[in-house]
Structure 1
Amino acid sequence: MPWKAFEYRGESVWVRVLDTGKPIVRRGLVEFRYKQGAIKSYRTQRENFEDAGEGTGEILSDEAFGGQSTTPSTKLREQPSVAADEHTIVIHTDGACSGNPGPAGIGVHIVRPDKISEISEYIGEATNNVAELRAILRAIEDLGEDERERTIHLYTDSGWSLGVLIGGWKAKKNVQLIDKIKARLPEFPKLELLKVRGHAGQEGNEEADALATKAVRIEDSTVRERPR
């Protein structure tokens, strides 16, 4: 994955980013290095970085940056390989918890050609990462046998979930849950897992977030379908 210059505590550093230039947040932290070609990485919260300013918008590949790569080269894509049309199933998932761990819920928003499904499910005590993964699994479980050959775009704002599912990242926890999702993915050969920026007004993501938050708030589950 590429690198881009940002300001951190008054000096320019290089941050690990998506192809679009947006920093990759993993477990709430962003990877950065102090200079081009450096080997050692550090991590801090996203809000500690500011755009470095005019003339520093260049994005460098791992090869151009130099140093040692600490993350796999598989890219977390934001855009599907095939554009959505009237037959595409578009899914947004999200997880939420009050405390980490704490009371947790998941939200799944599915737009099919003929209807919209909204799943708000309370899952009890869990971490945020578990909630994000459970939301993805619940979305896949909602897909029917007749949808196996459909084009499906599944969006999540959890870069960590995408990393451990399709990015080649090594997971130390939640391995069984991760393996369970991986085992289901081949059932839907045209399903793409995609990254969306959370809390940015993205249609579908906002609904999924509200559904997950609702489940935590009321500590209960609801499923609703309506015509599109």
Structure 2
Amino acid sequence: MIEVYTDGASRGNPGISGAGVYIKANGKQYKYAYPLGVMSNHEAEFHAVLKALEICTVKFPSEILSFHSDSQTVVDAIEKNHCKNRQFKPLLENIIKMTNTFPYFFIKWIPSKQNYHADQLAKKAISDQINKDRT
């Protein structure tokens, strides 16, 4: 089973955003930080899950996935396969489509303190984006 931790962060809401993906698989750790441009924090959280699924599609296409997120909004939307926010619906639809390609996909809400690695990666993505814009 592949353990995946995701986090989205924004500096401002909306603001410069980043996604962090931390994966534990087969005794190895994989770390990814993705600048996302300007968006809301919730939107960044959805994008973080999408980025993680893109990675898993390439690296672990036939594995069982156990996702963890500190976003109750994202976890609830994925578990219920429904969200009211029109902005998030296309993101949720893409997530559901991608999860259906794996034998099993689980997602669980975790407290922020248990999502430290993904949080740090999301913040790094924001810092990288700010530093790139300065040059």
Q: 1: distance between equivalents of 2:59 and 2:127? A: 34
- RMSD between aligned residues: 1.7
Q: 2: distance between equivalents of 1:146 and 1:117? A: 11
Residues paired across the two proteins, number: 129
The answer for the alignment partner of 2:102 in structure 1 is: 188
- Asked if 2 retains the 8 angstrom alpha-carbon contact of 1:121 and 1:212, the reply is yes
Q: 1: distance between equivalents of 2:24 and 2:108? A: 15
1:55-113 CA distances to partner (integer Å, 9 max, x unpaired)? xxxxxxxxxxxxxxxxxxxxxxxxxxxxxxxxx21110000000000000000000110
Deviation for aligned residue 1:154? 0.5
1:135 aligns with 2:53: no
Which letter does structure 2 place at the counterpart of 1:210? Q
The structure where helix makes up a greater share of residues is 2
The TM-score, its normalising length taken from structure 2, stands at 0.87
1:149 pairs with one of 27, 44, 62: 62
Which letter does structure 2 place at the counterpart of 1:184? M
Counterparts in 2 of 1:101 and 1:192: CA distance versus 1, 3 Å? same
The answer for the alignment partner of 1:211 in structure 2 is: 121
What stretches of structure 2 of length at least 5 have no aligned partner? 131-135
The answer for the alignment partner of 2:39 in structure 1 is: 126
The answer for the alignment partner of 1:94 in structure 2 is: 7
Which letter does structure 2 place at the counterpart of 1:135? A
For the pair shown, which has the larger CA radius of gyration, 1 or 2?
1
The TM-score, its normalising length taken from structure 1, stands at 0.53
- Asked if 1 retains the 8 angstrom alpha-carbon contact of 2:18 and 2:125, the reply is yes
Q: 1: distance between equivalents of 2:58 and 2:16? A: 32
- Asked if 1 retains the 8 angstrom alpha-carbon contact of 2:83 and 2:89, the reply is no
1:166 aligns with 2:79: yes
Q: 2: distance between equivalents of 1:118 and 1:146? A: 13
Other structure's SS at 1:95 match? strand
- Asked if 1 retains the 8 angstrom alpha-carbon contact of 2:19 and 2:47, the reply is yes
Deviation for aligned residue 1:145? 5.7
Q: 2: distance between equivalents of 1:95 and 1:145? A: 21
Deviation for aligned residue 1:191? 1.5
Percent identity, please.
Answer: 29
1:131-161 CA distances to partner (integer Å, 9 max, x unpaired)? 1001000101001467343222100010101
